[in-house]
Chain A
Amino acid sequence: MIIASNLSKSVQSPEGTLNILSDINLSIMESESLAIVGPSGSGKSTLLGILAGLDTPTSGDVVINNKNIVSMSEEERAKYRSKYVGFVFQSFHLLPGLTAIENVSLPLEIKDVPNTASLASDYLEMVGLKNRARHYPQQLSGGEQQRVAVARAFACQPKILFADEPTGNLDQKTGAKLSNLLFELNKSQNTTLILVTHDMRLASSCDKTLNLSDGKAVPNK
């Protein structure tokens, strides 16, 4: 279970203090899916980053399974991410010098998981790209690259998957396919899914939706 209480984030800018998030509260149960929606600049990615332990709020807490990740040191947060968290990014962030299977294997190798190649191959098969295992990202289409990224994220069998605009760089048709894939894998692995999206169709597929506007949560219409 994830509980975020009174989350605020502000940064200093040449124009003064910028409030990116103000007093955000939310809770997500295990295996639930949450879509964070809102216009550009509303603080969606910032909130996602805080919930994932990539960043810390100016004030407030994030308690995950009774552990407050905000009060952890960076080393402890890294450990938390290593054990529980997976990511899918809008820009895919596949390493261009690695093949598809190597991209999927890399986080497994970092976590010292045995049989990485075999596991990576299995997940590539799940996303329908087993025959493209030895291809480099620049040889794959956008949709294929994102599928490799999804395989990479799920191969670590995370408890919580964070996805930042996973269909943002894809056309509608490909985006729809990817969304289906995401939810299928999510269901089969019982992963808690938190995603940021502009795609209302994707958002409507989630159990919950959090609307952000100017860093504040607004009630859903």
Chain B
Amino acid sequence: MLSLKILLRALRAGELKTIFISLCLSVAVVAAVSIFAERIEKAIVNESKELLGSDFIVKSSKPIPQVWIEYAVNRNIDVSRTLSFASVVFFNENMHLAYIKAVESNYPLRGSILTSQLPFTYDVKQMEEFTSGPKVGEIWVESRLLPILNVEIGSQIDIGESSLTITKILIEEPEGPSFSILGSRILMNFADVESTNVVQPGSRVTHNLLVASSKESDINSYVSWVTEKMSPHDQLIKPEEAQENISSTIDRGRVFLLLAGSIGIVLAAVALAMASHLFATKQKTQVALLKSWGLTESRVRKLYVNQSLFLGFVGSFIGLFLGYIFHLFLIDIAREWLPTMLPNPGLQSFLISIFTGIACVIGFILPALWHLPKQPPISILKDDGMGQSTSIMVRLIVGLCVIMVLLFLYSKNVSITFAMTLGVLSISMMAALVGGSLFRIALAMGKSTGGFFRIGLSNLWRRKSHNLIQLIGFSSAIFLFLVLAIIRNSLLDEWQLQIDDDLPNHFFINVNEDDIKEIDDYVAKSKVSSAGWYSMTRARITSINNEFITEDQREAHRAYDRELNLSWSEDLPAGNEVSSGSWWKVDNSESAASLKGDIAPVSVEHDLAGELGLKLGDVITFSVGGLSFDAEVSNTRILDWEKMTPNFYFLFPEGALEGFPRTSMTSMYIPIENKRIISEILREYPTIQVIELDKVFETIKKTINQVTKALEAMTVLILFCGIMVLITSVHLSISERMRESAVLRTFGCARRDVVVVQLIEFLALGLVSGLLGALGAEIAVGVLSSTVFDFSFKLHPWIWGFGPLLGMAIIAIFGIISCKSAISSPPLSTLRSFN
């Protein structure tokens, strides 16, 4: 096969080196990130399923219909029921309101239950894993219950009318509530529920049906079926919701990985386009020669199309292989924070990678070579610039379209696709519009300066066609680097707040105001301190706009069904943002509105207001221990939940709830070695409730670390792509530079002077490229910030200095290195090589 023969010879000769490397690189980037992201996502989903104890849960305030269970069983789908309810448990004269979960023998369907024989232990060697719950007659309890009831393992405690034996300490179970404030957790056998007589018609019980199957298609069809049967009392809990705390982090990390990969694709595509252009310019003589020997236009076209497609397939498979290897490298870097078993990737990642290679051939290589068959054979005798070239505009449009398709296929994110395309388009248009003018200005500047500056700056104008293409290439590379840097820094800055080692990781609530000082003194002995005390009053909503809350409303939303924590503040708390209405200003000369007949203003959390249908001016009636008062919605607030500081759904002006019973809450950072103080506090103050968030933070930290490491590894890969672009760009004009340097040296210029001339040209190109890159980056980051990453829009002044400096430094260094051999070679041999 002639095409293959010629291709292999060209590869051997290194003529296709840059094209081939760029092609492999673009496929490798796609493959590495796709496979890596897919395996991580699958692992996170699997982890989430383990946290959920199943593939999904049907949650209901009513008993699960038997037909739903039978439907699943008939299709070989595993099901398991659980019941969750609050109940007072007793031991002798001690009692405690506990959160009880009754589970069937096959619970959990995924994951395991962590227990111990030692209360308050954090030593993993003391822990055991079980894949089924307590036997009939047994219960597993949370450590803190022991000091509260003054019991130990082996003790029998009363739940309703039954006495059940504590056999293990419950440390962690799937679907364990992270934020339970309803007391200690107890796990019991489903079969024991009836004998307790606690669950009666009308009892507030949550019924759960856990569902799992090894076949995803079976699960998906069951979800579709059961969703149609569900009523407002029912809710579907999916694995993503099991990790709500870190879902935003995971999502951002995933999107950033995709963004980094997208940047890599665009960089590799730009390098490929430029390498193809360079290759095409060198092929004109060969085509004229082939045609002089009798090859027709159609045969020439067939030759190059076959070569390009063959190159595409081979490059794709090699790129896929390299990408697979690189993804293993990514996994190795993040190994410490990844699940032990990573699921295998699916076929999709591989197919997308192969498609990328072929798309690159169609989008970048073929357009550059398309005009070659039209090269007139007479040009072999007279090379006076004959021959057409596919219009740069056409190549740009085709290239952009292919980039858009690849970006969307890869990221499945319209915003990333749009932002990247807009950035590249802006740069190309600015380069086209502004580049020529800038080169003309440089020419004028050179004339006024004289000497080497004159030659260097004049070269910008003399080689304007090449320089324009180089400008687009350099600017694209700098633009993409800057986007990556800005987004990465913003993400890491935000995450840093979440993984601060000293972030409070325990909340103490329901603390009597009289006990605050003693608790502060007590924890100070263990070198722990509270992050500040917040007072609150617990109340229920009884009516909205004088309409009583109905049973259905209570069942539809928890806010109507339980006591809420109301607090007060003179100023808008840090991290809160008013979304409608306005914050009150408390005039110190007046006391806050008395609540005997007056209406106090209240601020409601934005999302909750939406869920409850509350608008500005609505009047909410609260009941505090039987005493009612009205409050008018005066504003809504958006809260920042990720900072892990106390947030309140309802806030009043300072003094508005004077006279009502109040308790306090605080948050503290308690390191693992000091966790014993929790049980000591609980023993001393049994009404206090503790929310332990250290495990949640651990998960967040782990996720952030894993994503950060992966991002850093990706940056290395992106760097390679960027370097390819720069090297290819410089090589566009290398022949001319070599010839020029030989001529200058023939006329007596020293090597150093020739270097200076090249340096001036490269520095000028670098400066302009850096400025254009900064412009493109501001535009793209502006779009990405608001549509993808949810950052507030801002400009980045530093890139306007850093971009040009980076451009000048890198382009000058690579440029001079690339020209080094030309400058060092004897002028005669260089000039002869051009004959």
Contacts and interface: CB of A to CB of B under 8 A. Distances in A.
A75 B15 CA distance: 29
A164 B5 CA distance: 29
Contact of A46 (B12, B382, B833): B382
A87 interface: yes
A29 interface: no
Contacts of B10: 97
A154 B293 CA distance: 12
Contacts of B14: 97
Contacts of B39: none
Contacts of A1: none
A100 to B, nearest CB: 13
B378 A49 contact: yes
Interface stretch (A88-96, A122-130, A181-189): A88-96
Contacts of A95: 286, 289
Contacts of B293: 81-82, 87, 106-107, 110-111, 156
A207 interface: no
A97 B12 contact: yes
Interface string B380-397: 111000000000000000
Contact of B292 (A81, A109, A138): A81
B295 interface: yes
Contact of B382 (A45, A74, A93, A102): A45
A111 to B, nearest CB: 7
A133 interface: no
Contacts of B155: none
Contacts of A85: 292, 294
Contacts of B296: 74-75, 78-79
B295 A98 contact: no
A112 to B, nearest CB: 9
B382 to A, nearest CB: 6
A83 interface: yes
Contacts of A96: 13
B297 A54 contact: no
A55 interface: yes
A91 B833 CA distance: 11
B832 to A, nearest CB: 9
Given A96-B13, A97-B9, A111 B292 contact: no
B297 A74 contact: yes
Contacts of B5: 109
B377 interface: yes
**Category for how many chain A residues contact B:** 20 to 34
Contact of B294 (A78, A97, A169): A78
A119 interface: no
Contacts of B637: none
A48 interface: yes
Contact of B289 (A49, A52, A55, A93): A93
B290 interface: yes
A55 B835 contact: no
A64 to B, nearest CB: 14
**Category for how many chain B residues contact A:** 20 to 34
Interface in B376-433: 376-378, 380-382
A6 B100 CA distance: 109
A113 B297 CA distance: 20
Interface string B245-278: 0000000000000000000000000000000000
Contacts of A109: 2, 5
Nearest to B294: A82
A83 B296 CA distance: 13
B285 interface: yes
Given A97-B13, A109-B5, A110-B293, A54 B377 contact: yes
B68 to A, nearest CB: 71
B291 interface: yes
B292 A54 contact: yes
Chain A CB within 10 A, most for which of B10, B12, B289: B289
Interface in A44-93: 45-46, 48-49, 52, 54-55, 74-75, 78-83, 85, 87, 89, 91, 93
Interface string B296-310: 111000000000000
Contacts of A46: 382
Given A91-B835, A98-B9, A102-B9, A54 B294 contact: no
A146 to B, nearest CB: 12
Nearest to A11: B384
Nearest to A169: B835
Given A48-B381, A111-B294, A55 B376 contact: yes
B477 to A, nearest CB: 29
A48 B14 CA distance: 34
Interface of A: 45-46, 48-49, 52, 54-55, 74-75, 78-83, 85, 87, 89, 91, 93, 95-98, 102, 106-107, 109-111, 138, 156, 164, 169
- Top-6 shortest CB links A-B: A82-B294, A97-B13, A55-B378, A54-B378, A81-B294, A54-B377
19 contacts: A54-B292, A54-B380, A74-B296, A74-B297, A81-B292, A81-B294, A82-B294, A85-B294, A87-B292, A89-B381, A93-B285, A96-B13, A97-B13, A97-B15, A102-B9, A106-B293, A107-B293, A109-B2, A109-B5
Given A78-B294, A87-B380, 5 more contacts: A48-B381, A74-B296, A74-B297, A85-B294, A89-B380
